[in-house]
Structure 1
Amino acid sequence: MAKKNSKEKHVFAKSVQIKNRRASFEYHFLDTYIAGVVLQGSEIKSIRMGKVNMQDAYCYFKNGELWVKQLNISTYTNATYNNHEPTRERKLLLSKRELKKLEERLEEQGLTVIPTRVFINDRGWAKMEVALAKGKKLYDKRDSLKEKDLKREIDRTKY
């Protein structure tokens, strides 16, 4: 039997990339950060299965810490009686410098922090990409729809 390389140990068969597509339609992203997420055991299993809904999720500061609310991680079907609560608040892990910078920027009018993507990194840990964002106006949303349609038409004519 051949030995496995140590590099192959952390390679997962299915790469998990869960995106919040609605966020890019509703907001202009000014800055993005990669944060760790404090999870329970059954939550990471649900994330690996791709059972995450980020549509209504948002981030806020409480006591100098960043928390995500309304992030729905479905219950794990094979868990025991002590399964996790799907919409509980989860703490995000960022460095003190990043937290301070984000909190200072949030003082500006019209800025918010929203989660844009949940993924599993190469070490097998769940990470969340959060963005400092500003809401789009109605005409900005129309422009982004027009650009999307034009790009689709150009791609069709190429083939």
Structure 2
Amino acid sequence: MAKANDKDRIKKHVNIVNRRASFEYQFLVKYTAGIMLKGTEIKAIREGNVTMSDAFCTFHNNGLWLHNMHIAKFTEGTYNNHEPVRERKLLLNKRELVQLEKKSHEQGLTIIPIRVFISERGFAKVEIALARGKKLFDKREDIKAKDQKRELDRGGY
């Protein structure tokens, strides 16, 4: 019985999306990066226990680092359990890192994570985007378009 519950808890296809990011930012370029994890973090990701609404990326120590992504502690982790909020290094090609670093120094651009998923090979990946913050009127237009689409879907037109 316990084994059946374990299989239900751990998902094969993990796709955790940062919905707030698409509302707050306009995405210019998207990249897929690997992420360096410790110990029980991959098990917690496979359970779907990730929150990344306030997450962002910065460059330091010759690499791209992910900040404020909360990976909840693994339920069966003992003293080996990981720290929920810590800096995690993102893995990209040297060419992509150079491009991102040049672009991120421009005024008004930032790097934010969009989604966390498990690749076909079983590795945890993070989709990041070079983004520009939306103005208030852009957000209003997005809300207006979303409401219009919802009304059309309801009406069956």
Normalised to the residue count of structure 2, the TM-score between the two structures is 0.91
For structure 1, the residue ranges without an aligned partner over 5 or more in a row are 1-11
Q: Which residue of 1 aligns with 2:7?
A: none
Q: Which residue of 2 aligns with 1:41?
A: 39
Distance change >3 Å, CA 147–CA 31, structure 1 → 2: same
CA shift, 1:137, in A, is: 0.4
Q: Which residue of 2 aligns with 1:57?
A: 55
2:135 equivalent to 1:137 = yes
**8 Å contact 1:38–1:92 — kept in the other structure?**
yes
Query: Structure 2 CA distance, aligned partners of 1:13 and 1:37?
Result: 19
Q: Which residue of 2 aligns with 1:6?
A: none
Query: Structure 1 CA distance, aligned partners of 2:128 and 2:107?
Result: 19
Q: How many residues align?
A: 148
Query: Structure 1 CA distance, aligned partners of 2:14 and 2:156?
Result: 30
Distance change >3 Å, CA 147–CA 73, structure 1 → 2: same
Q: Which residue of 2 aligns with 1:158?
A: 156
Q: Which of residues 118, 131, 147 in structure 2 aligns to 1:149? A: 147
Query: Structure 1 CA distance, aligned partners of 2:32 and 2:113?
Result: 10
Deviations, residues 111-157 of structure 1 (Å, cap 9, x unaligned)? 00000000001111100000000000000010000111111111112
CA shift, 1:63, in A, is: 2.3
Q: Which residue of 1 aligns with 2:87?
A: 89
Once superposed, which parts of structure 1, at least 4 consecutive aligned residues long, lie more than 4 Å away?
Answer: none
2:16 equivalent to 1:15 = no
Q: Which residue of 2 aligns with 1:120?
A: 118
Q: 3-state SS of the aligned residue for 2:131?
A: strand
For structure 2, the residue ranges without an aligned partner over 5 or more in a row are 1-9
Q: Which residue of 1 aligns with 2:96?
A: 98
**8 Å contact 1:59–1:66 — kept in the other structure?**
yes
CA shift, 1:40, in A, is: 1.2
Query: Structure 2 CA distance, aligned partners of 1:17 and 1:68?
Result: 18
Q: 3-state SS of the aligned residue for 1:78?
A: coil
Identical aligned pairs, as a percentage?
Answer: 61
CA shift, 1:13, in A, is: 5.8
